[in-house]
Amino acid sequence: MSKFSIKNAVLYKDMTLDMKKGKIFALILVFNLLVGIIAFTFLGGITLGGISSGKVSYAVMPFMLYTLVFLEYGIMIMVVPALTAGVISLEKERQTLEVLLTTRLTPWEIVWGKFWSVINMVGLLVLSSVPFLALVFMYGGINIIHLLLIVAVFMVITMYTAAMGIMWSSILKNTMGSVIMSYITVFFSRTVFLSLGIGVSGVIAAIDEAIYMNMLNAAGYTYYYSHTPSGIPQYLIPPEIGIPFFLLSPECTLWDVANRMGFQIGTWSTRGMDFLGEIYPYLSSGKWYWYLWTPISVGLFLLLTWGMLKISAFALNPVKKKGKKNKKSRVK
């Protein structure tokens, strides 16, 4: 068999080139160094605490997991734009893209290959750090299925992030612009949605509260009722309007999947995004959508990823079909 045995030629090429450069091994080393330091700091703390008090504080274990997951997430959003922003624009600059486009590869296959070469690389990073995540098992409180679920969701978010870089890399001509736009888009897609979620939910709660109080007053109630008097709606603007913004924030998804373990830490139960129901008035815990948080947002991210990759393939297509027909008749 030839060395070129992975089906997508672009995917194979990129992976071998990265191997050759040793880039991936350097990344794995640095990445695990960071993750390892944090993991062992936690373990050291727990062990020392255990020695001095004679009790192991298992309650800290989930926090170790969250910390590691969000640390990896932080590294991921720093690294993925850098890994993706150049994948296609560099081929443009090297003028190899044109040559690739004359081969049997379709623009979609080129984009797809590029996409998976980055995903494989990040996947390798994450897998290499799984032993550290698994340290959490040492003291129990989390099972392997749950850990795999977290890794899977993490990879979906990685795809969503990678698609942004690939999209800019396909649309823009130079790598510099693509790098800048990728980082901007990645950061905005996190902070903007999260801020909108918090902001919109807060404002809606405030308005609803004001209206409610007014109605109570108008109806002659002089003090706050814990039960809504009949004839007065509890809220006018649905409080759920802010939820989609949270759904589009990868941090929330990651939190939901990491935290949804169903046990108490101190006074706090671990129920994923359900806690929003406790934070905002009129949103209530235990609703069906809290339980579907991870599946719904993962679905959204996959959809957006697919859309951005489609846009990338469209941008690369030198002979776009759309609007071609009427142009044909116009000339002459």
Residues of this chain that bind other proteins (CB under 8 A): 1-5, 9-10, 12-13, 17, 20-21, 94-96, 98-106, 318-320, 324, 327-332
Q: How far is the CB of 236 from other proteins (least distance, A)?
A: 54
Q: Which residue has the tokens 């044109």?
A: 98
Query: What's the chain's Rg over C-alpha atoms?
Result: 25
CB atoms within 10 A of CB 43: 18
Question: Among positive and negative, which fits the CA dihedral 321, 327, 328, 331?
Answer: negative
Tokens of 247: 């759904």
Minimum CB distance to other proteins, residue 8 (Å):
9
Q: Which is nearer to other proteins, 51 or 331 (CB)?
A: 331
Question: Is residue 234 within 8 Å of 212, Cβ to Cβ?
Answer: yes
CB of 319 to other proteins, least distance (A): 4
286 in helix, strand or coil?
coil
Q: For other proteins, give the closer residue by CB, 96 or 191.
A: 96
CA-nearest of 76, 107, 88, 78 to 168 is 88
Smallest distance from the beta carbon of 99 to other proteins, in angstroms?
Answer: 4
CB of 322 to other proteins, least distance (A): 10
CA distance 88 to 105: 14
CA–CA distance, 139 with 137 (Å, rounded to integer):
5
Query: What's the closest the beta carbon of residue 14 comes to other proteins, in angstroms?
Result: 10
Are 84 and 118 a contacting pair, CB within 8 Å?
yes
Number of alpha carbons in the 13 Å side-chain half-sphere of residue 271: 16
Residue closer to other proteins by CB (options 107, 141) is: 107
In the block, tokens 């330091």 appear at 37
Residue 13 or 287: which CB sits closer to other proteins? 13
Nearer to other proteins, 12 or 235 (CB): 12
Alpha helices (runs of H) in 85-143, residue ranges in sequence order? 89-94, 96-102, 107-134
Nearer to other proteins, 19 or 134 (CB): 19
Min dist CB 78 to other proteins, Å, is 25
In sequence order, what are the residues at sequence separation of 6 or more whose Cβ sits closer than 8 angstroms to the Cβ of residue 151? 126, 127, 130, 133
